[in-house]
């Protein structure tokens, strides 16, 4: 056990720092560009330097570096410290790109990957349907070949960012007579066409980040399919695996805990800082046990990944652990903000600090993470069945 990085990695860290100190923030005329242009300019340079899009081959616009989990971690740490733009988040770079790299055809990779990692095009994900949530494979949106095009009819729901997306990757039923899972294909399609209608869904936070998407004879070329017909379910599993990794990141949790401790120092109880209250101290210290467990479990998974070892069943637990932690922090925060819990996140009166509103927002959002990307109860099924080897649910076995 050695929590320090070796000399080789520290020297790599030095190179990253040197690059950052001369490249971010932008200087001179470039500093006056709009924010997204500055970020795009910087990302291009960071790709050229080999620090971003590391898993993407050069011919598709990436920097094609040898896989090295520790270097990836050092880059994230240093970019975060310098507040420099890192690899684009979002569903396109984090989910579609790895899927295309693994299962896409040559022309698909050439056409889509570069613009996606540069943020020139935005994707949304068409998976869930009103009748197909946890039982996703029961989905009913149909696609049929007519001439040299797929013609798509049906409805998707909970589609984050559909209102701003250029493209969708979408699961559709294409094989009418095939068994449930084998009748699905993974299609790519343009969102900018008359056969698509996007209606916003307002969530309990008040904002509308996701949508319903209606397809009425929407079209996409016949070869905009990833994998073969009927292989869509398997192709989509590649993608979900990546989403789980994305949500399970322990660093966010550690940072949020730090924020919660600051809130407890600032919030008052009976005129004294809440953190002096014995019950608050107990709750925070108890929570810290979980936060640190998650953090060290992340260190261990990082170590295993660096040695090209599988994480084991702990890998199935990250999302649920991080969801549980987010909810517990939100509950403590709601107690700490006191009367400000009566107000909407954006409302501020009597000098209530803006952070209080953010915690109220987090209190609402923490429920979203218990549902998005596989509900907490589905996660428990997965842990029980794939992790502990328990028999599958009798009802699920039948379908």
Partner 1 sequence: MNFDLTEEQDLLQETVRQFAANECPPGRVRAIFDGDQGHDPALWKGLLELGLGAIAVPDEYGGAGLELLDLALASEVLGAGAVPGPFLGHSLAGLALLYAGSDAQKKSWLPKLASGEAIGTVAFAEGEGRWQPEDWTIAGGATLSGVKAHVPFGAHADLYVVGTRGGGLALVERGARGFEVEPLAGIDRTRRLSELRFADTPCEALPGGPAAAARVRDAGLVLLAADAFGGAARLLEMSVEYAKTRQQFGITIGSFQGLKHQLANMAVEVEPARGLYWYAAHALDHLPAESERSAALAKAHLTQVYMQVARDAVEAHGGIGFTWECDVQIYFKRAMFDRAFLGAPAAHRERAAALAGW
**Residue closer to partner 1, measured from CB, 35 or 391:** 391
Q: Applying CB under 8 A, which of residues 101, 247, 251, 314 lies at the interface with partner 1?
A: 314
Q: Is 290 in the site for partner 1 (CB under 8 A)?
A: yes
Distance (Å) of CA 200 to CA 188, 193, 330, 370, 378: 21, 17, 26, 21, 26
Element (H, E) at 225: strand 225-226
Structure tokens that stand for 75 in this block:
């880059």
Contact at 8 Å (CB) between 346 and 357?
yes
Look at the block and give the residue holding tokens 């990085």: 5
Tokens of 217: 């004879």
Nearer to partner 1, 64 or 385 (CB): 385
Only one residue has tokens 């040299």, namely: 148
Q: Which of 10, 243, 328, 347 is catalytic?
A: 243
Would you say 216 or 276 has its CB closer to partner 1?
A: 276
Task: Reply yes or no on whether 243 is catalytic.
Answer: yes
Q: Does 399 bind partner 1 (CB under 8 A)?
A: no
Q: Which residues in the 228-267 window bind partner 1 by CB under 8 A?
A: 261, 264-265
**Residue among 213, 201, 194, 208 nearest 128 (CA):** 213
By CB under 8 A, tell whether 377 contacts partner 1: yes
| Nearer to partner 1 among residue 228 and residue 386 (C-beta) | 386
CB 302 within 8 A of CB 73: yes
Select from 94, 300, 347, 360 the one that contacts partner 1 (CB under 8 A): 300
Q: Is the Cβ of residue 37 or residue 377 nearer to partner 1 in the bound state?
A: 377
| Whole-number Å distance between alpha carbons of 78 and 82 | 6
User: Going residue by residue from 318 to 357, which x/- string records binding to partner 1, judged by CB under 8 A?
Assistant: --xx--x---------------------------------
- Structural contact between residues 385 and 397, judged by C-beta atoms closer than 8 angstroms: no
Which of 252, 254, 245 shows the shortest CA–CA distance to 314?
245
Please give the residues from 4 up to 33 whose contact with partner 1 meets the rule CB under 8 A.
4-6, 9
Q: Which of 82, 151, 254, 275 forms a contact with partner 1 (CB under 8 A)?
A: 275
Q: Which residue has the tokens 């292989």?
A: 231
Q: How far is CA 322 from CA 35, 160, 318, in A?
A: 31, 21, 6
Stretch 32-71: interaction string toward partner 1, x if CB under 8 A: --------------------------------------x-
Q: How many residues interact with partner 1 (rule CB under 8 A)? A: 57
Nearest distance, CB of residue 330 and partner 1, angstroms:
18
Work out how close the CB of 327 gets to partner 1 at its nearest, in angstroms, rounded to a whole number: 13
The minimum distance between CB 262 and partner 1, in angstroms, equals 11
282 binds partner 1 (CB under 8 A): yes
Element (H, E) at 156: strand 149-160
Cα–Cα distance list, 250 to 99, 183, 245, 256 (Å): 24, 37, 10, 10
Q: Residue 47 or 263: which CB sits closer to partner 1?
A: 263
Q: How far is the CB of 196 from partner 1 (least distance, A)?
A: 37
The answer to whether residue 73 forms part of the interface with partner 1 (CB under 8 A) is: yes
CA distances from 222 to 144, 145, 148, 177, 241 (A): 10, 7, 5, 20, 27
Give the shortest CB-320-to-partner 1 separation in angstroms. Answer: 6
Asked if residue 388 binds partner 1 (CB under 8 A), the reply is: yes
Beta strand 149-160 pairing with 142-146: antiparallel
Q: How far is the CB of 3 from partner 1 (least distance, A)?
A: 7
- Residue tagged 């699961």 (tokens): 171
Stretch that binds partner 1, among 49-57, 206-214, 225-233, 375-383 (CB under 8 A): 375-383
133: DSSP letter: S
How far is the CA of 326 from the CAs of 1, 221, 387, in angstroms?
29, 42, 23
172 and 152 Cβ atoms separated by less than 8 Å:
yes
Q: Which residue numbers are catalytic? A: 243
Q: Which residues form the interface with partner 1 (CB under 8 A)?
A: 1-6, 9, 70, 73, 261, 264-265, 275-276, 278, 281-282, 284-286, 288-290, 292-297, 299-300, 302-304, 306-307, 313-314, 317, 320-321, 324, 377, 379-381, 383-385, 387-394
């Amino acid at each position: 056990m050695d929590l320090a990085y070796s000399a080789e990695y520290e020297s790599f860290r030095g190179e990253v720092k040197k690059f950052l100190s001369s490249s971010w923030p932008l200087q001179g005329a470039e500093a006056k560009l709009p924010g997204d242009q500055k970020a795009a300019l910087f990302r291009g340079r960071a790709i050229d330097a080999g620090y971003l899009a590391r898993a993407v081959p050069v011919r598709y616009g990436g920097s094609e570096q040898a896989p090295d989990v520790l270097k990836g971690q050092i880059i994230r740490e240093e970019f975060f410290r310098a507040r420099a733009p890192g690899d684009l988040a979002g569903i396109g770079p984090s989910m579609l790109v790895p899927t295309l790299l693994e299962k896409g055809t040559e022309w698909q990779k050439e056409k889509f990957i570069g613009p996606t990692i540069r943020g020139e095009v935005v994707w949304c994900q068409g998976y869930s349907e009103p009748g197909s949530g946890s039982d996703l494979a029961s989905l009913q949106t149909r696609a049929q070949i007519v001439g040299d095009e797929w013609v798509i009819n049906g409805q998707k729901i909970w589609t984050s960012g559909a209102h701003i997306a250029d493209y969708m990757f979408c699961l559709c039923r294409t094989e009418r007579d095939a068994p449930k899972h084998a009748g699905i294909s993974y299609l790519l399609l343009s969102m900018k066409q008359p056969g698509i209608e996007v209606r916003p869904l307002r969530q309990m936070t008040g904002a509308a980040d996701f949508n319903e998407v209606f397809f009425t004879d929407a079209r996409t070329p016949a070869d905009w399919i990833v994998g073969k017909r009927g292989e869509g379910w398997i192709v989509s599993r590649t993608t979900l695996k990546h989403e789980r990794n994305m949500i399970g990141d322990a660093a966010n949790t550690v940072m949020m805990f730090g924020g919660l401790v600051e809130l407890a120092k600032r919030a008052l109880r009976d005129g004294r800082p809440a953190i002096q209250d014995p019950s608050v101290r107990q709750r925070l210290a108890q929570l810290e046990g979980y936060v640190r467990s998650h953090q060290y479990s992340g260190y261990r998974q990082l170590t295993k990944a660096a040695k090209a070892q599988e994480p084991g069943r702990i890998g199935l637990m990250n999302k649920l652990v991080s969801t549980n932690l987010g909810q517990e922090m939100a509950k403590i925060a709601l107690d700490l903000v006191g009367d400000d819990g009566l107000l909407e996140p954006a409302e501020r009166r009597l000098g209530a600090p803006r952070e209080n509103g953010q915690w109220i927002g987090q209190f609402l959002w923490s429920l979203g993470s218990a549902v998005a990307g596989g509900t907490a109860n589905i996660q428990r099924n997965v842990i029980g069945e794939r992790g502990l080897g328990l028999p599958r649910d009798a009802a699920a076995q039948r379908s």
